[in-house]
């Protein structure tokens, strides 16, 4: 495990973005039958998921979130010194999505950009990378995370089709000598790679489409084996106990798993965030979308002690204990239909 503390970096705001397209229980019922659809929803806590339209990419969702964030903070694009993009569903094989978003957002020529290919642990890993690099680069950073996993799902595979949705999140960071430390714990175990994967490159059969495979039993066992210890290490680095946190925000994979982990850690139900009912598992975007959906008003109102933990594909896991807030904004926007320009995004309350 890698445990570290990063001081002097403040989070200024978070904006999530989801596509307008939605797939719900009625759609699953047409494919799998009404009884099976409701049984899956009861087991996972997921009743609908946001799905990108044809032609929409991860960069479209991330751009919409980033533009709303920059506008809300009154940051000009040329004031951003670092861009970190975390995704497994890049627009192109190359260039990386960070370069695409650098151009589309109009960031200055000298800004540093980096792509990180992580999934469910991606937000915590991205926060660690962005905060650590910002200590060297100085100034301001944008962390953009997002995935369009629905593109990789076989719609007839009931093990994964009802679970995965699309979304993105944008987080603004800034050097601030008075900001409290963030305590991280990160780790990986490549032995888990075969249990959650999409074959590609030399491993992919050219006659078959790229499809997501997941062994749910192995995922659950890995989560129970590694995540509690990671959370304990992050708390220890912060000098906190589990009772000191205001909210536990886990990767939003499955409601039963989230609640089970919360109980295992001794966190009261009301302090464990479950915000996937209408979003599904949005991979790297699940933690920022949970923050904007469930904690937006409280994080703009004041400071909260949070424990964030992401875990999944790789195996990979990352936890961070941090004080977040007050944020200038913490909200979700919706990208309509086939529209890709970011200025077409609207507040979630206007499009629900």
- The gap between the terminal CA atoms of the chain, to the nearest Å, is 41
Do 85 and 206 fall into the same domain? no
At residue 19, the 3 state secondary structure works out as: strand
Contact by Cβ (8 Å): 322, 306: yes
Confidence (pTM): 0.94
Do 242 and 164 fall into the same domain? no
Per-residue model confidence (pLDDT) at position 119: 93
Per-residue model confidence (pLDDT) at position 201: 54
Into how many domains does the chain fold? 2
Alpha-carbon gap, residue 89 to 99, rounded angstroms? 14
Do 13 and 82 fall into the same domain? yes
Alpha-carbon gap, residue 98 to 115, rounded angstroms? 6
**What are the residues whose beta carbons fall under 8 Å from the beta carbon of 285, sequence distance 6 or more?**
16, 123, 145, 146, 147, 167, 168, 169
Cross-strand pairs, 115: 85
Do 144 and 203 fall into the same domain? no
Do 29 and 170 fall into the same domain? yes
At residue 202, the 3 state secondary structure works out as: helix
Do 90 and 187 fall into the same domain? no
Do 292 and 239 fall into the same domain? yes
Per-residue model confidence (pLDDT) at position 113: 97
Per-residue model confidence (pLDDT) at position 150: 92
Count Cβ atoms within 10 A of the Cβ of residue 228 and give its class: 0-12 exposed, 13-18 middle, 19 or more buried. Answer: middle
Domain containing residue 252: CATH number? 3.40.47.10
Do 177 and 222 fall into the same domain? no
Helices (H) and strands (E) in the chain, counts: 10, 16
Per-residue pLDDT of the chain (352 residues; tens, 9 = 90+): 678 999 999 999 999 999 999 999 999 999 999 998 999 999 999 999 999 999 899 999 999 999 999 999 999 999 999 999 999 999 888 889 999 999 999 999 999 999 999 999 999 999 999 999 999 999 999 999 999 999 999 888 888 888 999 999 999 999 999 999 999 999 999 999 888 888 765 444 555 567 888 888 999 899 999 999 999 999 999 999 999 999 999 999 999 999 999 999 999 999 999 999 999 999 999 999 999 999 999 999 999 999 999 999 999 999 999 999 999 999 999 999 866 555 556 777 644 4
Give the active site residues. Answer: 120, 251, 281
Do 153 and 190 fall into the same domain? no
The CA–CA distances, whole Å, from 53 to 57, 87, 119, 148 equal 9, 18, 21, 10
Do 240 and 95 fall into the same domain? no
Do 55 and 189 fall into the same domain? no
Per-residue model confidence (pLDDT) at position 203: 47
Range of the domain at 175: 2-181+327-337+344-351
The CA–CA distances, whole Å, from 352 to 21, 105, 141, 164, 347 equal 11, 26, 30, 19, 9
Do 167 and 207 fall into the same domain? no
């Amino acid at each position: 495990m890698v445990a570290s503390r990063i001081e002097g970096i403040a989070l200024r705001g978070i904006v999530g973005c989801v596509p307008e397209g939605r797939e719900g229980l009625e759609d699953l019922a047409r494919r799998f039958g009404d009884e099976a659809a409701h049984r899956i929803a009861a087991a996972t806590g997921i009743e609908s998921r946001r799905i990108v339209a044809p032609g929409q990419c991860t960069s479209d969702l991330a751009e919409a979130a980033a533009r709303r964030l920059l506008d809300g903070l009154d940051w000009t694009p040329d004031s951003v010194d670092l861009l970190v993009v975390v995704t497994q569903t890049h627009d192109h094989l190359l260039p990386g999505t960070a370069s695409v978003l650098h151009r589309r957002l109009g960031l200055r020529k000298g800004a540093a950009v980096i792509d990180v290919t992580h999934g469910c642990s991606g937000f915590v890993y991205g926060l660690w990378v962005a905060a650590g690099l910002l200590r060297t680069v100085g100034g301001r950073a944008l962390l953009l995370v997002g995935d369009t996993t629905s593109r990789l799902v076989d719609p007839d595979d009931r093990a994964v089709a009802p679970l995965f949705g699309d979304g993105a999140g944008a987080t603004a960071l800034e050097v601030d000598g008075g900001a409290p430390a963030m305590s991280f714990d990160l780790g990986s175990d490549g032995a888990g790679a075969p249990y959650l994967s999409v074959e590609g490159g030399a491993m992919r059969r050219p006659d078959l489409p790229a499809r997501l495979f997941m062994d749910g039993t192995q995922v659950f066992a890995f989560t129970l084996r590694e995540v509690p210890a990671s959370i304990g290490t992050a708390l220890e680095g912060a000098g906190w106990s589990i009772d000191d946190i205001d909210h536990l925000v886990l990767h939003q994979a499955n409601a039963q798993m989230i609640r089970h982990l919360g109980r295992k850690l001794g966190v009261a139900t009301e302090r464990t965030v479950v915000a996937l009912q209408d979003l599904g598992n949005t991979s790297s975007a699940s933690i920022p979308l949970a923050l904007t959906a469930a904690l937006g008003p409280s994080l703009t109102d004041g400071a909260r002690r949070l424990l964030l933990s992401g875990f999944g594909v790789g195996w990979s896991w990352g936890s961070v204990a941090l004080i977040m807030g007050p944020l200038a904004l913490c909200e979700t926007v919706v990208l309509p239909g086939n529209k890709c320009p970011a200025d077409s995004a609207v507040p979630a309350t206007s499009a629900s």
